Structure 1
Amino acid sequence: MKNLLVAQSGGPTAAINSTLVGVLTYAYTKKGDIGKVYGAINGIEGVFEEKFIDITEKVKDTESMNLLSNTPSSALGSCRYKLGDKKEDEEKLKDIIAVFRKYNIGYFVYIGGNDSMDTVYKLAAYCELNKIDDIKVVGAPKTIDNDLAKIDHCPGFGSAAKYVATTFAEIERDISVYNTKSVTIVEVMGRNVGWLTAASALSKQAGGNGPSLIYLCESDFDMDNFIESIKNIFKTKSNVLVAISEGIKNKDGRYISEEVQSDMVDSFGHKYISGAARVLEEVVRKEIGCKVRSIELNLMQRCSAHILSRTDIEESKLLGMKACQCAIDGNAGVMATIIRKSNNPYEIELSSVPVSEVANIEKKVPLHWINKEGNGVQQEMIDYLLPLIQGEVEIEYRNGIPKHMIL
């Protein structure tokens, strides 16, 4: 009887543990087919170091499942380790298989985003090339960026979008009380895609005005047009709220934030980017001279479990169950996915896709979902986003603070 191993990787989210719960839920129904259920601490790095825990000792009843599902961040820890391909890093791939053999691992579910799916792809390809058919490697998606290909929307995105929409509604209420002209620029996560920034438009759904200007990565950012847009808005209102993706670029493809950032990159070759709002703050101060401030949401938008989307949490669990089912059924080298059937009523179905069609591919916002001025979103975007933030989750509190589970 083979054991199952599950791990988490990449940036933490408010829903990644719900996906873990989904994996465990399905695994527990297959006790006759699998042995132990291990969790690798710190992703693929934990596999190399054999840092495993028996999850069944800590998560074994409905109460603990529910608490873990509503606990933000990666309960098993995470990593950002770049695994080479079969030629560049064959020894590392051999080491992983050796560890799997040592612990009798027959099923490996890796929960993560684009870089994690790259790891799933390389490991599954190595197994196929070397005719290793007793180890099934499967991916379970997650990312607040919502940039994975072959999936309608990603676990973690809905809750992050709900947080962003709520935060913009609250900021808009705050700044609207003054008659003094002011500009507030809020920077939202999104290196090369603007899905999460677009969610700021949802702040209008509860009766507020929301941001006056929204700039996504997919459109070239024009500084002159930006300043002119603010001046035009000032003709009719005193307060301008602006939403920008951290990765907005000019027509030459250069990040706006590069004016205040170094050229350092992470292990996957990605530039460290943030600070675009600060750049724009200084430009507005110089060109317009009004009161201006920049706000960088930064980490807060990733793991805000006090405002979870019930839709997001429920779907994240279902995708974990689907990924585990794929592994146990022998459907290796795939990622569990969501197909949207309709918006109204909102309906989805679960499926799986070859991870080779997902790894290293970014799903960008369709350009026709952005207005022609490049500073707002169309109704198609609202129709897409709105179902994903529906519903609330009952949170357990201790001494006035949301209670979390630590594995």
Structure 2
Amino acid sequence: MIGNVIVGQSGGPTAVINSSLAGVYKTAKDKGVKKVYGMLNGIQGLLEERYIELEQELKSQVEVELLKRTPSSYLGSCRYKLPDAKDNSEVYDKIFQVLKKLEVEYFFYIGGNDSMDTIMKLSKYAASIGSNIRFMGVPKTIDNDLEATDHTPGYGSAAKYIAGTTKELIRDSLVYDQKNLTIIEIMGRNVGWLTGAAALSKGDDCEGPDMIFLPELAFDMDDFMLKLEQLQKVKKSVVIAISEGIHLADGRYVCELVDRTKYTDNFGHTLLSGSGNYLANKVSTEFGCKARAIELNTIQRSASHLASLVDINEAFLVGGAAVSAAIAGETGKMIILKRISTSPYQCITDVYDINKIANLEKKIPAGWIGEDGISVTNEFLDYARPLIQGELTPYMVDGLPRHLVYSKKKQ
């Protein structure tokens, strides 16, 4: 019998993060693991000794399949930043005491950049005290900003939702015979992978967004207003996609031009919201035309009704690959996806040193941004399009998707 497993979820949710959880659970059980524990609210919950036995919740293959179709974080999440061990070893002592109590030999954390920082710190501490517990990162983030991996589970489904929603908003904007501007503000912080996905809406039945503004390039307010003025001379309906993280040449986010209280989370991330409204109000005031901002914000993170089948399958795959790698002896690593072919699309898994991933940020290659600075190239589209393919129909009950929900009342 193989030693016990514990798994947690951290950071923002996605439409497929629970498919990775299902992959960890099913692979661990298939390999003979006795118990699979789930941390409630990630590492923060573990410090408070809040966890469950997943065997008590996932009692059949039907429930595992339902979990794969359930968005957001089944176990709950957190944004808890582990301190450096040299500054606060008590926190690490507490974590390893709980893991010893549960007879855990394999630790898996599903998350993005900040979560990989947690895996890096825990694996280093384990080595320093001679612990044989193996720590593995399972990639997850709609932002697609993790280094080393071709892409991250969660991105494909969010990109599919953004492209579909952009297409629908463009149709909506064409209804009235009058000048109008629609600005779609899309998440992604300092990288434009999600905003670039709006370009996937272009096709025989849709011309796509007129301009795309990415955070990889500095945002020039005067140039923006000039380009828009010229565009409105030739077409009445204009649709623009902007990243929430667009910033001026001096480094200030456009959303910071709004007079409001600045908020940062435990990792020092600034709350980015309001750039679209700021620009829409400016355009409306200076040009006298109807302008509105649609802020997608968190809405694409849990849109499982439009999830990508490729994304769901790959999320499950990386969860299972993490278990296989840990049992084979790997630790202090993250599972990555390696693209071996785009047409036909093929990806395989591999392991990568967590120290070369944690706290780094993968941006869109400069060559994938159009020379005009307001579009993406065919290379970007060829990269992203395979990731949005296919659908996994939700289980429908009373006309709505059915979700698997952990209830604290069971405790």
- Name the aligned partner's letter for residue 393 of structure 1: L
- Name the aligned partner's letter for residue 306 of structure 1: H
Shift of 1:259: 1.6
Gaps of at least 5 residues in structure 1 are none
* Structure 1 residues 65-97: Cα deviation after superposition (integer angstroms, max 9, x where no partner): 110000000000000000012212211111111
* Structure 1 residues 135-157: Cα deviation after superposition (integer angstroms, max 9, x where no partner): 11110010000000010000111
- Name the aligned partner's letter for residue 30 of structure 2: T
Cα distance in structure 2, aligned partners of 1:143 and 1:285? 35
Shift of 1:265: 1.2
The answer to whether the 8 A contact 2:305-2:393 is kept is: no
* Structure 1 residues 251-305: Cα deviation after superposition (integer angstroms, max 9, x where no partner): 1111000022423211001111110001101211122111100110111111100
Residue 409 of structure 2 corresponds to none
* Structure 1 residues 8-40: Cα deviation after superposition (integer angstroms, max 9, x where no partner): 000011000000011012111111xx2211101
Cα distance in structure 1, aligned partners of 2:230 and 2:257? 26
**Bigger shift: 247-256 or 87-96?**
87-96
Shift of 1:349: 1.1
Residue 334 of structure 2 corresponds to 335
- Say yes or no: does 1:347 pair with 2:346: yes
Cα distance in structure 1, aligned partners of 2:17 and 2:350? 19
Residue 12 of structure 1 corresponds to 13
* Structure 1 residues 212-253: Cα deviation after superposition (integer angstroms, max 9, x where no partner): 010011011011111111112112211000000000001111
- Name the aligned partner's letter for residue 6 of structure 2: L
Residue 63 of structure 1 corresponds to 62
Residue 206 of structure 2 corresponds to 208
Figure out how many residues of one structure are paired with residues of the other and give that number: 404
* Structure 1 residues 32-55: Cα deviation after superposition (integer angstroms, max 9, x where no partner): xx2211101000011111111110
Counterpart of 2:266 in 1: which secondary structure?
coil
Cα distance in structure 2, aligned partners of 1:282 and 1:72? 34
Report the TM-score, using the length of structure 2 for normalisation: 0.97
- Name the aligned partner's letter for residue 259 of structure 1: L
Cα distance in structure 1, aligned partners of 2:346 and 2:130? 39
Cα distance in structure 2, aligned partners of 1:84 and 1:72? 30
Gaps of at least 5 residues in structure 2 are 407-411
Counterpart of 1:331 in 2: which secondary structure?
coil
Cα distance in structure 1, aligned partners of 2:261 and 2:190? 18
- Say yes or no: does 1:240 pair with 2:241: no
- Name the aligned partner's letter for residue 312 of structure 1: D
The answer to whether the 8 A contact 2:40-2:75 is kept is: yes
- Say yes or no: does 1:279 pair with 2:267: no
**Bigger shift: 385-394 or 204-213?**
204-213
Shift of 1:206: 5.7
Residue 166 of structure 1 corresponds to 164
Cα distance in structure 1, aligned partners of 2:387 and 2:203? 13
The answer to whether the 8 A contact 2:143-2:188 is kept is: yes
- Say yes or no: does 1:314 pair with 2:313: yes
- Name the aligned partner's letter for residue 166 of structure 1: G
- Name the aligned partner's letter for residue 302 of structure 2: C
Residue 2 of structure 1 corresponds to 3
Cα distance in structure 2, aligned partners of 1:98 and 1:390? 44
The answer to whether the 8 A contact 1:227-1:287 is kept is: no
Residue 174 of structure 2 corresponds to 176
Cα distance in structure 1, aligned partners of 2:198 and 2:362? 19
Shift of 1:329: 1.8
Show the 5 A alignment for 1:221-236: 221-236=219-234
Cα distance in structure 1, aligned partners of 2:290 and 2:247? 25
- Name the aligned partner's letter for residue 186 of structure 2: V
Cα distance in structure 2, aligned partners of 1:351 and 1:89? 33
The answer to whether the 8 A contact 1:83-1:89 is kept is: no
Counterpart of 1:106 in 2: which secondary structure?
strand
Residue 192 of structure 2 corresponds to 194
Q: CA RMSD in A?
A: 1.0
Show the 5 A alignment for 1:6-405: 6-31=7-32, 34-133=33-132, 135-205=133-203, 207-260=205-258, 261-405=260-404
Cα distance in structure 2, aligned partners of 1:271 and 1:234? 33
- Name the aligned partner's letter for residue 374 of structure 1: G
Q: Deviating runs (4+, > 6 A) in structure 1?
A: none
